[in-house]
Chains A and B, each alone.
Chain A
Amino acid sequence: MLLIGQLSVNNKAVYMEQLTIDNFKAMLNNALKNIKEREDEFSKLDAVIGDGDHGQAIVTAMSAIVATAQKGTEFKSMLNDMGFDVMLQVSGSTSTLLGAFFLGMSDHAAGTELDAAAVKAMFAGGLANVQKQTKAQRGDKTMMDALIPAVEAIQACPSGDIKEILEAGAKAALEGAASTVNLKANFGRARNYGERSIGFADSGATSWSCMFESFAQAL
């Protein structure tokens, strides 16, 4: 009886109507922790068709983002500072895209708590700004294969529970990243490797899906 009672209390506690600054920091911290653990895996995937430095690149970029986020007290300014700092402190495409993502989120978020609609708007803003920076489409075997389905699933989720919304995003991101295994690289320098890229997941799609998975897991 006691056990059931505790469970029901826990269930109630995880129905999440509001996302606080502290919740969001926990999401970011969890993303950095999981990305660090998988650094070598991301680099090995990148080595198939690229420089083999994606693991290091995303750990460096996420570390800068998380360091700035610790100082945040309000969504708009916190996200803006995260975007500025990663771009100014870390060079490379990973930093450009992550920075653009958080700057775009900043444009569509404000205050210290976000409800389900505000969370959806924030992620939609992030994707929109990334799309201004890269012409890569879904199917080109890039991080967009994780990001686009994740944000679409977040928008489409009918729940008012923010954890459930982010779980939908995580599931779509992971499926999107898995789908890149069978794709041929069709964007940027990697395009030159064409056929050689088939059979391996894209490193960026994999690391971004890890980020979305970590977000949902942290709530």
Chain B
Amino acid sequence: MSEVKTKFINDPEQITAELLEGYVLAYPDQVKLAAENIVVRATPKSEDKVAIVTLGGSGHEPALSGFVGDGMLDCSVVGDVFAAPGAQRLFQALQLMKREAGILLVVLNHSGDVMSANMACQLAERVGIKVKQVLTHDDISAGIGADDTDRRGLAGCVPLYKILGAAADEGKSLDELVEIAERYNQKVATLAVAMRSCSHPQNGATIADLPLGMMEIGMGQHGEGGSGGQKPLVSADETAVEMVDLLCQQLQPKAGDKMLLIINGVGATTHMELNIIYRKAHLELQARGMEVVFGRIQEILTVQEQAGFQMIAAILDEDHIDYLKNKASNAPYWTTIGK
């Protein structure tokens, strides 16, 4: 284990505990820790409404706990750095969130997360907890039209948290929420591009080796390689157009479709660059006849100090647009006053 010399940390083993403690100290009106590694709203919503819960490793801040708050997630269950939380922790969270209306668990398609979710849900059902899962698989780097099971869950889950949080507030049933989520899942696509590698905060190991001046389209959020291969860096506009084209090959949007477009910075790429990328991606979608009705430029899911970004595009239905744009949320990293 090499020493980490590029980050402001203390004991590497305490990273997750300390970052969560800092987070809830900063935003006490919105979030609190219900137990170790379980982040919940400061004020729980009424129990006649479905709870929206998610899980994932730390090291991707503000994801995923940054989206806990009124109008968005009820609970986020956090694992260690880049590692899924165990079934035990998740089962504990499901017991805390237990209610007649049920729990919807949003799972990003990564084997560790899926495994923990399956185990915890199986046990939860046996003790009378009503819970359903939706699996997000927005990554398209496995190839256009690849099987859902081969597609990873990237940052496309974050707008889904907002949609589901607003819909649950409105009183939608567990089955209705599953339908809303699956409809979104079928029409969202994300593609990542990386330019400089990052290091694992606990052992200092370099994650993904990208030489200076090279980029790789399709890299995952733990630095695992995509299918696009490495190639010399091109301009922001060329990068944006290539990525929009790939996303459109997957989504097959028609002229007039209403779309979501988010540029998610993964850590070391400046907002200056993200804005420049967003500009061309938005214009390119417009040029193809689509209407971007929801745009955002933000770091929502990061990969340490990796340079690069994820481009998220989705074809939205009217209800999705309403939940995204017109409903309020006080989640620390997705605060909106709504309409």
Task: Please report A residues at the B interface, Cβ cutoff 8 Å.
Answer: 80, 84, 87-89, 91-93, 95-96, 99-100, 103, 133, 189
A133 near B118: Cβ-Cβ < 8 Å? yes
Q: Which residues on A sit within 8 Å (CB–CB) of B122?
A: 87, 99-100, 103, 133
B309 shortest CB reach to chain A, Å: 27
Q: Which of A88, A93, A103, A189 contacts B91 (CB 8 A)?
A: A88
Q: Does B227 contact A (CB under 8 A)?
A: no
B119 near A87: Cβ-Cβ < 8 Å? yes
B126 near A95: Cβ-Cβ < 8 Å? no
Closest residue of chain B to A86, judged by CB? B119
B90 shortest CB reach to chain A, Å: 10
Tell me the interface secondary structure of chain B in the complex: helix
Q: Which residues on B sit within 8 Å (CB–CB) of A80?
A: 126
A91 shortest CB reach to chain B, Å: 5
Given contacts A95-B119, A99-B122, A103-B126, 4 further A-B contacts (CB under 8 A): A91-B86, A91-B112, A93-B115, A189-B111
A91 near B111: Cβ-Cβ < 8 Å? no
Interface residues of B in 69-99 (CB under 8 A from A): 84, 86-88, 91
Q: Which of B84, B88, B111, B119 contacts A99 (CB 8 A)?
A: B119
A91 near B116: Cβ-Cβ < 8 Å? yes
Tell me the complex Cα distance, A109–B58, Å: 41
25 A-B pairs with CB atoms under 8 Å apart are A80-B126, A84-B123, A87-B87, A87-B119, A87-B122, A87-B123, A88-B88, A88-B91, A88-B119, A91-B84, A91-B86, A91-B115, A91-B116, A91-B119, A92-B115, A93-B111, A93-B115, A95-B119, A96-B115, A96-B119, A99-B119, A99-B122, A103-B122, A103-B126, A189-B111
B141 shortest CB reach to chain A, Å: 14
Tell me the complex Cα distance, A22–B310, Å: 57
A100 shortest CB reach to chain B, Å: 7
A42 shortest CB reach to chain B, Å: 19
Most interface-central of A91, A96, A100 (chain B CB within 10 A): A91
Tell me the complex Cα distance, A184–B279, Å: 48
Tell me the complex Cα distance, A19–B215, Å: 63
Question: Top 6 A-B pairs ranked by shortest CB distance?
Answer: A88-B88, A87-B119, A91-B86, A96-B119, A87-B87, A96-B115
Most interface-central of B87, B91, B118, B119 (chain A CB within 10 A): B119
Q: Which residues on B sit within 8 Å (CB–CB) of A133?
A: 118, 122
Tell me the complex Cα distance, A92–B116, Å: 8
Closest residue of chain A to B87, judged by CB? A87
Q: Which residues on A sit within 8 Å (CB–CB) of B88?
A: 88-89
Q: Which residues on A sit within 8 Å (CB–CB) of B119?
A: 87-88, 91, 95-96, 99
Tell me the complex Cα distance, A87–B87, Å: 7
B152 shortest CB reach to chain A, Å: 12
B220 shortest CB reach to chain A, Å: 14
Q: Which residues on B sit within 8 Å (CB–CB) of A103?
A: 122, 126
B112 shortest CB reach to chain A, Å: 8
B126 near A91: Cβ-Cβ < 8 Å? no
Tell me the complex Cα distance, A190–B119, Å: 21
Q: Which residues on A sit within 8 Å (CB–CB) of B126?
A: 80, 84, 103
Q: Which residues on A sit within 8 Å (CB–CB) of B84?
A: 91
Q: Which residues on B sit within 8 Å (CB–CB) of A100?
A: 122
Tell me the complex Cα distance, A103–B122, Å: 9
Q: Which residues on A sit within 8 Å (CB–CB) of B112?
A: 91
Tell me the complex Cα distance, A91–B55, Å: 15
A91 near B87: Cβ-Cβ < 8 Å? yes
Interface residues of B in 259-276 (CB under 8 A from A): none
Tell me the complex Cα distance, A133–B122, Å: 9
B121 shortest CB reach to chain A, Å: 10
Closest residue of chain B to A93, judged by CB? B115
Closest residue of chain A to B119, judged by CB? A87
